[in-house]
Every structure is written in structure tokens, then in C-alpha cells.
Chain A
Amino acid sequence: DAGITQSPRHKVTETGTPVTLRCHQTENHRYMYWYRQDPGHGLRLIHYSYGVKDTDKGEVSDGYSVSRSKTEDFLLTLESATSSQTSVYFCAIRPGQGASGANVLTFGAGSRLTVL
């Protein structure tokens, strides 16, 4: 997916361990989002950012924290992973208001996390 990369793409970890997923963009877009995708639940917003150091919670933010110290990077951290956080995590980016395609989300390829 051009302009947006997620790492790692796959990770297996144990309950109670910390995990950080990274989203990196080269588009200089203002908005960045973390979603999780689970069967039967679709895409649910975890956290999002509307600028450097500006973040807000989504509908399923419990157990997750985020940081954005640079425009290009948005980190998602699970402080103490639980089995319920086994999921596929997608990062998405969006230009700011007034930009061409301002409402269009571009998604990364996803990070599959398994918590044993």
C-alpha cells in the first residue's frame, strides 16, 4: 500500500507482555487512525490522531494507548496484552480538510497480532 507501512506484519506474543505496533506514512497526511478488525465486528476505531501530539479515543480504546511524536509515525501500544486483543490491526491515513480527497482513508496492509 503506497505511502503507508505497518510493522510488524505478524506477531505472536504472550498474555501480559507489552506490544507496540508502528504505522509509518510518507504522504504527510494530517490524520492517522488505528482500527481493529474482528469477525462479526467489522472495523472498529481504537484511537486516532489529528496532528502531532493530538490524539483522541475511539469506540474500543480500553487497553490501548497511542503516541504521535512526528507527522509520519503513529504508534499503538498494548501495555499488557490480553487474548481479547488478538486481532488484525489496520492503520489508516487521511489528508486534512480542504485537501484533495480529504474524506478518503488509505489503509495499510494490516498487522496480525496473536496473544496466547
Chain B
Amino acid sequence: QQQVKQSPQSLIVQKGGISIINCAYENTAFDYFPWYQQFPGKGPALLIAIRPDVSEKKEGRFTISFNKSAKQFSLHIMDSQPGDSATYFCAASLTGNTPLVFGKGTRLSVIA
């Protein structure tokens, strides 16, 4: 049972464009939703995270939009740059000690 469904699997965006990656979750008890960024040959690293008490969180060019009623959240990368080319993972967890559940990842390529 896949608890976090991520789409698309891969994405190609022109430099300067907006990259959008979507995730849907099933467990309504989830209350922490992070995004991780992974460059080739490296481990994933936390990019940005949100809790369900807010509908949007922005950090620089990266924004998480959260829709609690639809059980969906998305990552928007504004003014996408070639340096943003990486694999992005959404995840979800319960407060406390439960492990993160990850989506299957999206490989983003930003082309000039």
C-alpha cells in the first residue's frame, strides 16, 4: 500500500519556468510534510517542509502548497535553474517517532 503518491515521475522544464511536483497522501493523521532534494551521487537533503495548519510555505524560489481537504500537497519551483536539476521526494509522517514515508520521487531536468 503506497501511502504517498508522487507525480510526475520525471519532468523537463525550461530555464526560468515553473516546476510543479504533486503528492497525494492517504493517512489523514499525517501532520508533517517535507520535501527532500537529491543530487546525483548524494544522499537526499531536506529542502522545505510544512505542517497542515498552514496552506502555503515559501522559502526563496521554493513553495509548498497544501490542500488538507484534498489530501494533496505540491512543490513549486519558481524561475527554475539548471542547478535545480535533481530528484525530488515528497514525504509524510505523524508527529512523534514514526518514520517518514516517501513518495517514489520526481527527476527534474531544467534545460537552458
Contact = CB atoms under 8 A, between A and B. Distances in A.
B89 A107 contact: no
A109 B43 contact: yes
Contacts, number: 51
Interface residues of B, number: 23
B83 interface: no
A107 B43 contact: yes
Contacts of B49: 103-104
A101 B26 CA distance: 25
Interface stretch (B11-19, B69-77, B98-106): B98-106
The size bracket of the interface on A is 20 to 34
Given A58-B99, A107-B45, A42 B34 contact: no
A41 B6 CA distance: 11
Nearest to A38: B104
Interface of A: 1, 31, 33, 35, 40-45, 48, 50, 58, 90, 92, 97, 103-110
Given A33-B99, A42-B104, 16 more contacts: A1-B43, A31-B97, A40-B9, A42-B102, A44-B102, A45-B101, A58-B99, A90-B44, A103-B34, A104-B49, A105-B36, A107-B44, A109-B42, A109-B43, A110-B42, A110-B43
27 contacts: A31-B97, A40-B9, A40-B104, A41-B104, A42-B89, A42-B102, A42-B105, A43-B44, A43-B105, A44-B102, A45-B99, A48-B99, A90-B43, A92-B43, A97-B96, A97-B97, A103-B34, A103-B49, A104-B46, A105-B36, A105-B44, A105-B46, A107-B43, A107-B44, A108-B43, A109-B42, A110-B41
